[in-house]
């Protein structure tokens, strides 16, 4: 099934323009096999998934036991890699948050918290933690596995203002249907001088250019928006945030490359993915902006 192009009157969330051009079509390799156009804003170049399902029905595109960010039981090689990396990265993320915020304890909100793994790590380090998660099954796992009660997605909008020192979104902003509304909430919920930490796939990366339409991090239609470093900085400025630092997510080059080789139906996808993932990782050592995924640190003042 092919999705038609997004109507031309849809505003670009970065610059507000309404003109787009189609770059190519991407397939939902993960679940449905449907194809969606990848559109580029004619004014600023921001990339978006064309004709995505509406917010009310997109949930079916996440309804699989294989949806890896909500999975607790690694079953295949890629799943095992993901869960191993998640354990390693949780500690690194915690250290990065504390360093970026300039505090070792505080109030933290994680939006799109999944099964609460990161929040559990932060709570063990003395932080007061709150999280939101749209998936009911993921919220149940967070409660059963970590004793953390997560709010449903709409619970975000009833949290009192100026409640947090830090807000984090780990590969979440690209899933949100109305990103501008969430940026307004970041402003409302952060205390003066607060820190916003956002991790995103990077469509300007070396591996995105190499794999083209097969790049696993397009992840259509679950990923609605595709932020380059420049686009993310422009959007942040609209809402009073200042981008202060960015960091590589080194493992993503390997994970995304392995999945991309699998989607291409390449022979020996694990070995090919590891090899190209290494090349992409090495390239990003010298050119950070080419890393497969980046963590952005922003300040609200």
Q: Residue 42's pLDDT band (boundaries 50, 70, 90)?
A: very high
Find the mean pLDDT for residues 159-171. Answer: 98
Domains identified in the chain and CATH numbers: 67-206+241-300 (3.40.50.150)
**Tens digits of residue pLDDT in 232-265:** 999 999 999 999 999 999 889 999 999 999 999 9
Q: Using alpha carbons, select from 164, 162, 138 the residue that is nearest to residue 150.
A: 138
pLDDT of 80 reads 62
pLDDT of 70 reads 46
Q: Residue 301's pLDDT band (boundaries 50, 70, 90)?
A: confident
**Tens digits of residue pLDDT in 191-200:** 999 999 999 9
Find the mean pLDDT for residues 48-74. Answer: 76
Q: Quick check: 4 pLDDT over 70?
A: no
Q: Residue 67's pLDDT band (boundaries 50, 70, 90)?
A: low
Q: Quick check: 231 pLDDT over 80?
A: yes
Find the mean pLDDT for residues 278-282. Answer: 94
Find the mean pLDDT for residues 217-229. Answer: 97
Q: Residue 22's pLDDT band (boundaries 50, 70, 90)?
A: very high
Phi, psi of 256 (to 5 degrees): -65, -40
pLDDT of 270 reads 94
Average pLDDT in the chain: 91
The CB-side HSE value for 300 (13 A sphere, CA atoms) comes to: 22
Q: Residue 230's pLDDT band (boundaries 50, 70, 90)?
A: very high
pLDDT of 63 reads 81
pLDDT of 264 reads 96
pLDDT of 298 reads 98
Q: Quick check: 52 pLDDT over 60?
A: yes
pTM over 0.75: yes
């Amino acid at each position: 099934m092919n999705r038609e192009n997004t109507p031309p009157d849809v505003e670009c969330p970065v610059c507000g323009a309404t003109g787009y051009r189609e770059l190519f079509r991407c397939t939902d390799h993960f679940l449905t096999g449907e194809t969606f156009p990848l559109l580029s804003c004619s004014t600023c170049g921001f990339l978006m998934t064309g004709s995505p399902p509406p917010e009310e029905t997109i949930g079916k595109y996440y309804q699989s036991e294989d949806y890896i960010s909500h999975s607790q039981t690694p079953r295949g090689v890629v799943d095992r890699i993901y869960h191993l990396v998640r354990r390693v990265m949780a500690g690194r993320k915690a250290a990065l948050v504390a360093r970026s915020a300039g505090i070792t304890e505080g109030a933290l909100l994680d939006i799109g918290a999944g099964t609460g793994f990161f929040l559990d790590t932060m709570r063990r380090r003395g932080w007061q933690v709150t999280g939101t998660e749209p998936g009911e099954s993921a919220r149940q796992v967070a409660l059963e596995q970590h004793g953390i009660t997560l709010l449903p997605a709409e619970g975000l909008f009833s949290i009192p203002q100026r409640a947090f020192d830090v807000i984090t979104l780990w590969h979440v902003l690209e899933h949100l249907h109305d990103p501008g509304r969430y940026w307004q909430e970041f402003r409302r919920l952060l205390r003066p001088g607060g820190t916003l930490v956002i991790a995103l796939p990077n469509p300007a990366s070396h591996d995105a250019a190499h794999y083209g339409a097969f790049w696993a991090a397009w992840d259509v239609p679950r990923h609605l928006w595709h932020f380059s470093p420049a686009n993310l900085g422009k959007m942040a400025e609209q809402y009073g945030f200042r981008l202060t630092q960015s960091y590589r997510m080194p493992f993503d080059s390997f994970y995304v490359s392995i999945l991309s080789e699998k989607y291409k139906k390449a022979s020996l996808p694990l070995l090919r993915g590891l090899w190209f993932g290494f090349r992409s990782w090495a390239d990003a050592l010298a050119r950070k902006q080419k890393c497969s995924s980046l963590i952005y640190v922003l300040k609200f003042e």
